[in-house]
Amino acid sequence: MPLLTDAGFPDLSRLVSPRSVAILGASERAGSVGRDTLVNLAEHSAFEGAIFPVNPGRETVLGLRAYPAIAALPGPVDVAVLCLPAAAVIPALHECAAAGTRFAVVFTSGFAETGAEGRAAEAEMAAIARRSGMRIYGPNSPGLSNINRRLGLTFSPVFKDDRLGGGIGLVTQGGGLGRAFIQASERGIGTGLWCSTGNEADLTMADFVHHMVNDPDIAVIALLAEGFRDGPRFLAAARAAARAGKPVVALKVGKSDYGVAATRSHTAALAGSAAVTSALFRQHGIVEVDDLDELIDTAALFARAGLAPRRGICVYSFSGGTAALAADMLGSAGLRLADLAPGTRAGLGALAPSYAAISNPVDLTTEVFSSDTLNRDCLSLVARDPGTDVIVLPVPADYGPITDRLARDIAALAPDSPALMLPVWMSGHRARGHALLNEAGLAPFRSLGKALTALSRLIWRGNWRPGAETAPPALPGLPDGDLDEATAKAVLARLGLAVPEGRVVEDPGAAQEAARAIGFPVVLKALVPGLLHKTEAGAVAVGLADADALEAAWQRMDAALAARGHALLRALVERMETGPGVEVMAGLHHDPVFGPVVSFGLGGVMVEALGDVTHRAAPFGRDEARAMIDEIRGRALLGPLRGQPGADLDALADLLVTLAALGARGDIAEMDLNPVRAGPGGARVLDAVILRAATDSQGKERP
């Protein structure tokens, strides 16, 4: 199955950099959206194109010639901005489309987030876009700010302060959090382009991510997502970003039930499963963060540091306790202190007092307070240490002129430093030193933990590589209709997966014969159409050691099934699998947001009790399958452990790749292989449920 290509994405350059803009509902009324929008464009933007206020009741608006309708304009415009009440939006969109408008921006709220009527209106918007080719941005959008070009298509009362552009492209759905991001300009963090897609009746976040991938002024894409309208297209945009080497940093709302409910009422977007979303982000190299400040700090770090691989870190401070805390937290975060080279240590030793710590973490002590040059000279040495890629510079407290000088040293050395400098300003006291670091574009972190979290993410993304695409295995077709366990296992065997040796039998005598052929001990499983929860129903007997035990189990099972209104007419006799191995589970389902998703985790009772499961979007190759196996918490159980050989991870990976290929093919709705016995000799599927896509669409109850 071919991956989605870039071909499906629209060219948005005339939306973010229009030559002409019509403002429908332009007004002079103080506090009105129509006025604020016009003022933002005409007065606070550096917009050199044509502005067409549209207002049937006025000759001019704020000194600009007004037009009674968009049809009355001299020609089609690139962008029409609708500052209109909800009831007027659909008619206006029809008029805009008829007038040949390229893009319509709809601020108005009160659509899908309010109920069925609003959803119908948005469907109409999508239809207008589809029929006319005019693309729609919104509704329920706070607008668009192209700060690098100094252009605001927004009614925000604070747009006039948005003056610091930069390499960060910001994609959001709502306004308030995006505004908080933009205000990081106070810390010297500049955002070049902010697009906020609102309810996404037509254009979605995926379109803007893709636009930014191709925008040479954007180095990092920051995404604040409440939900995805079209998961697979978003993943395609993420793949384009990965190919372009442009990091995507994302904060996704909807990790808890409260968030899912609140998101639905806010932008009417599907939140999806948080665990699936996070795993798919990892699969696509998207750097997921957990809070808004982390989104800002991490995006700013990538904008400054890029994707160079980094490994060795030096902690550098003038406070021993601070150095110890930083080193400690660094170790807890799984990061690595660099071994300073002998030359670096010798240089530090020659400069620093005898009681300073000149191995890593470096603690120059308060001796830096009384020397004008000690800090500069030592930091300069560490910056050129061959094993040091990053210097973490925690400043615990503000000591006035002393700290100012330390900040000046950092600001002076950072531009030419081979090692990335990460200052951390830990004090609530923020005087000149803090401002100096901001002005130098070093935006100090506000806590050690946040700095190390961002650094971990920088290092993770620097090392991330997309899994190699491998040709999907050639898979035979599936039989029609329902699949009982025996049929499901036969299908799996045809797909090349290992299942226990077994036979279908219809009476106790045939069961005995089968068991003798297979060899005791055996397992007996009733094959009863529509029977769920087989173990609880008494329809499974394991460890049957001889013919008597098998006979007794058949009779017990028959009685247990009869008590539930079923009959034991067919059963599966299987070899009892023993020997070393760990029970794992592998599954396939169709995620409502992202489509086919494969899951893997500890199996049997553990999947419920520990919830140790990970996911990937299908299809994928062996690299990705191995990454899945490696990222579950219980990975160590797969060995090698205590001198015992580990499970055959290649066989397990092949099983996952096969599931992924099946998922991408689309004829299976759901598949649950649980348990799979993963041992040194391979991965054997002990129980299997396969629901055909057709079966699924009939809404049958799932086991």
Candidate list 5, 13, 60, 256; residue touching a copy of itself; CB under 8 A: 256
C-beta closer to a copy of itself: residue 449 or 595? 449
Q: How far apart are CA 351 and CA 569, in angstroms?
A: 88
Find out whether 527 and 570 touch, Cβ atoms under 8 Å. Answer: yes
Which residues, in sequence order, are CB contacts of 344 under 8 Å at separation 6+?
Answer: 381, 382, 384, 385, 388
Find out whether 593 and 277 touch, Cβ atoms under 8 Å. Answer: yes
Does position 262 interact with a copy of itself (CB under 8 A)? The reply is yes
C-beta closer to a copy of itself: residue 201 or 337? 337
Give the nearest distance from C-beta 35 to a copy of itself in angstroms: 13
Give the number of C-alpha atoms closer than 13 A to the C-alpha of residue 128, restricted to the C-beta side: 29
Does position 132 interact with a copy of itself (CB under 8 A)? The reply is no
Does position 258 interact with a copy of itself (CB under 8 A)? The reply is yes
Does position 85 interact with a copy of itself (CB under 8 A)? The reply is no
**Interaction with a copy of itself in 599-638: which residues (CB under 8 A)?**
605-606, 608-610, 633-634, 636-637
Q: Which stretch binds a copy of itself (CB under 8 A): 49-57, 257-265, 377-385, 588-596?
A: 257-265
Closest CA to 670 of 682, 654, 649, 688: 688
C-beta closer to a copy of itself: residue 255 or 622? 255
Does position 549 interact with a copy of itself (CB under 8 A)? The reply is no
Amino acid at 378: C
Q: Which neighbouring-strand residues pair with 105? A: 81, 137
Amino acid at 408: R
Candidate list 39, 83, 84, 224; residue touching a copy of itself; CB under 8 A: 224
**Interaction with a copy of itself in 446-465: which residues (CB under 8 A)?**
446-449
Q: How far apart are CA 112 and CA 119, in angstroms?
A: 4
**Interaction with a copy of itself in 474-533: which residues (CB under 8 A)?**
none
**Interaction with a copy of itself in 142-161: which residues (CB under 8 A)?**
157-158
**SS3 assignment, position 100:** coil
Residue with tokens 């119908």: 120
**SS3 assignment, position 389:** coil
Candidate list 321, 343, 496, 666; residue touching a copy of itself; CB under 8 A: 321
Give the nearest distance from C-beta 459 to a copy of itself in angstroms: 16
**Interaction with a copy of itself in 643-702: which residues (CB under 8 A)?**
643
Give the nearest distance from C-beta 105 to a copy of itself in angstroms: 18
Does position 204 interact with a copy of itself (CB under 8 A)? The reply is no
**Interaction with a copy of itself in 9-38: which residues (CB under 8 A)?**
31
**Interaction with a copy of itself in 571-590: which residues (CB under 8 A)?**
none
**Interaction with a copy of itself in 351-390: which residues (CB under 8 A)?**
355, 357, 361, 363, 369-370
C-beta closer to a copy of itself: residue 215 or 363? 363
Q: How many residues bind a copy of itself (CB under 8 A)?
A: 95
Candidate list 1, 123, 261, 563; residue touching a copy of itself; CB under 8 A: 261
Give the nearest distance from C-beta 304 to a copy of itself in angstroms: 16
Helix 401-413 vs helix 374-383: crossing angle, to nearest 10: 30
Amino acid at 211: H
Amino acid at 522: V
Q: How far apart are CA 203 and CA 9, in angstroms?
A: 10
C-beta closer to a copy of itself: residue 290 or 469? 290
**Interaction with a copy of itself in 551-570: which residues (CB under 8 A)?**
none
Give the nearest distance from C-beta 650 to a copy of itself in angstroms: 21
Token pair for 111: 């659509």
Does position 430 interact with a copy of itself (CB under 8 A)? The reply is yes
**Is residue 256 classed exposed, middle or buried when 0-12, 13-18 and 19+ CB atoms within 10 A define those classes?**
exposed
Does position 114 interact with a copy of itself (CB under 8 A)? The reply is yes
Closest CA to 672 of 649, 696, 650: 696
Q: What is the DSSP letter of 168?
A: E
Strands 312-317 and 390-395: parallel
C-beta closer to a copy of itself: residue 355 or 416? 355
**SS3 assignment, position 574:** strand
Give the number of C-alpha atoms closer than 13 A to the C-alpha of residue 509, restricted to the C-beta side: 0
**Interaction with a copy of itself in 398-417: which residues (CB under 8 A)?**
398-400, 402
